[in-house]
Amino acid sequence: MSLAPVLRDAAMRWITDDSDLATRTELQQVLAQAMVGDADAIRDLTDRMSGPLRFGTAGLRGPVRAGPAGMNVAVVRRATAGLADWLARDGARGTVVVGRDARHGSAAFADATAQVLAGTGFEVRVLPGALPTPLLAFAVRELGAVAGVQVTASHNPPADNGYKVYLADGAQLAPPGDVEIEARIAAAPAAVAIPTATTATTVDVTGSYLDRVARLPRGAARTLRIALTPLHGVGGATAVHALARAGFIDVHVVGSQAAPDPDFPTVAFPNPEEPGATDALLALAAEVQADLAVALDPDADRCALGVPLPDGTWRMLTGDETGVLLGDHLLRSGGYPDPLVATTVVSSSMLRSVAARYGARYAETLTGFKWIVRGGPGLVYGYEEALGYCVDPDTVCDKDGIAAAVLAADLSAGLRAAGGDLLGRLDELAAAHGVHRTEGLSLRLEPAERDAVLDRLRAVPPAGWDVERPAPDVLVLRGEGRRVVIRPSGTEPKLKAYLEVVEPVPDPTALPAARATAEERLAAVRTEVQDLLVRIARCPAC
Mean pLDDT in each 10-residue stretch from start to end of the chain (542 residues)? 93 96 97 95 96 84 96 98 95 94 98 98 98 98 98 95 96 93 96 97 98 96 98 98 98 98 96 96 98 98 98 97 98 95 96 98 95 97 97 97 98 98 98 96 88 87 89 90 90 87 96 97 96 89 74
Of the candidates 295, 270, 273, the residue with the CA atom closest to the CA atom of residue 442: 273
Which domains does the chain possess? Answer: 1-13+21-47 (no CATH), 51-202 (3.40.120.10), 209-430 (3.40.120.10), 434-538 (3.30.310.50)
Question: Which residues are designated catalytic?
Answer: 154
pLDDT of residue 378: 97
Burial per residue of 240-261, b for 16 or more beta-carbon CB atoms within 10 angstroms, e otherwise: bbbbebbbbeebbbbeebbebb
Cα within 13 Å of Cα(347), Cβ side = 31
User: Looking at residue 187, what is its pLDDT?
Assistant: 96
**SS percent in the chain: helix, strand, coil, step 5:** 40, 20, 35
What is the residue type of 103?
Answer: R
The per-residue pLDDT for 387 is 97
What pLDDT was estimated at residue 491?
A: 66
DSSP bridge pairs for 496? 442, 487
CA distances for 406 relative to 213, 215, 216, 220, 378, angstroms = 7, 10, 7, 13, 22
The answer to whether 124 touches 145, Cβ cutoff 8 Å, is: no
CA 26 to chain CA centroid, nearest Å:
31
**Bridge partners, 164 (sequence order):** 59, 150
> What's the pLDDT at 51?
84
The three-state secondary structure class of 58 is coil
Q: Residue 454: CB partners within 8 Å, gap ≥ 6?
A: 473, 475, 486, 488, 495
What is the helix (H) or strand (E) element at residue 380, kind and residue range?
strand 379-384
Contact 132, 155 (CB under 8 A): no
First to last CA, the chain: 39
> What per-residue confidence (pLDDT) applies to 295?
98
